[in-house]
Amino acid sequence: MNFGRATAARRRIGVRCLALPLLLLGGVPLLVSAQEKGATTVASTVPSPRVAGTIELAAGDAMIESSDGKARLPKVGDTLSEGETIVTFPQGELHVHMEDGAYLSVRENTRLKIAAYVAEGGKNDTSVLELVRGSLRSVTGWIGKFNRSAYQIKTPTATIGVRGTDHEPTVIAAGDPRGEAGTYDKVNEGRTVLQTGPHAVEVGANQAAFQASSGAARPRVLPSVPAFFKPTPNEQRFVARSREVRETLDTRRIDRREAVRRGPDGRREPPSKAAPASTRSGAPSHSVGPGAAATREPSPSLHGSKAAPGGPAEKRAGSEGRAGSAAPRSGRPPGSSSVPATSDGSKGPSQHGRAVELDNARAGRPNAKQHEETGERRAPQGATGHKK
């Protein structure tokens, strides 16, 4: 009897021990399913980045790096978002129509990040660009006109503010044959302020200012404009388009403010507050986008080609859209045996580094390496290709 009872007890314990793993295994799919559903719910509530501008011209080699390290090739009509970085190579150039009506020409061998951007037509509008290297030409929009203190271009050695301006910030690295290393700013129209710490200097039209990289000297207005400030092959196109955009600046601001107040479903909503790109969690911008995209430039070698005709964006949308779709890509195939000379005389990236980064951008692969100058991630094997 004792032997029989012991055998029965062992059988009951064995059944229970076998049932416990089966129960646990059976519960795993339920747990995983619940976690997946929760992750899907959380992902659906993450807001999209704010739209900052639209590409209207893409000539030569360039790429766009997102805040998560992925790279893509720029195309006419593509939007740029807060937190993204524009990278151009020798003979590369991008024209960008910003949401506040500003117009940018990002020139060759440049790295420019859209650090913070809000264009809702209100007091919280903000435009903060970080120019790590290279140069651009900027014609300010309504943020530079109505929220001057919220418009800044930051460089490694200085901060540039505006007084309603058409200006050309430039960063020259050590060893560049064009001039002393530091931050330069040439003003074509209006006024800017070049500031380093408590020291600042005001720059008027047809003047240029300089702040050395060493930081020992204060910013100063130069006796003459440096010779490296030269127009690009697409300069006339840029000037004509920026003037056209500026004519509708006030109207666009009013329309944008009303669109924000109505909200996506037509109900009036308060504008969101400005915050740094890395911490902001506001809803995506629902804006009246910039004017119709201009035609894509087929190649930097075709400098004599005519620019797209001016006029209202509504009249140009059809014809220019067809022209842009037919224009060929100007980039060279990966592994090309020739590296185009830099038109401004600066040191451009190496052939191998540029080819690798463009290959990564075409394939949409993430950039795994930290950028040497900004700490951002970028395409592997190409980190040394960008540095001057």
Distance CA 363, CA 76 (A): 19
Residue 266: per-residue pLDDT: 53
Residue 383: per-residue pLDDT: 41
Residue 66: per-residue pLDDT: 94
Residue 217: per-residue pLDDT: 86
Distance CA 176, CA 255 (A): 45
Residue 38: per-residue pLDDT: 52
Quick check: helix, strand or coil at residue 181?
Answer: coil
pLDDT < 50: residue spans in the chain: 1, 3, 6, 13, 15-34, 36, 39-44, 275-340, 369-388
Residue 154: per-residue pLDDT: 97
Distance CA 49, CA 27 (A): 38
Residue 11: per-residue pLDDT: 56
Residue 312: per-residue pLDDT: 44
What 8-state DSSP symbol labels residue 148?
A: G
Distance CA 330, CA 347 (A): 21
Backbone dihedral angles phi then psi of residue 384, each to the nearest 5 degrees? -85, -5
Quick check: helix, strand or coil at residue 7?
Answer: helix
Residue 34: per-residue pLDDT: 44
Q: Which helix (H) or strand (E) holds 159?
A: strand 159-162
Nearest to 269 by CA among 250, 281, 283: 283
pLDDT tens digit sequence for 174-186: 999 999 999 999 9
Question: Cα 187 vs. chain centroid, distance in angstroms?
Answer: 23
Question: Is 0.75 topped by the overall pTM?
Answer: no
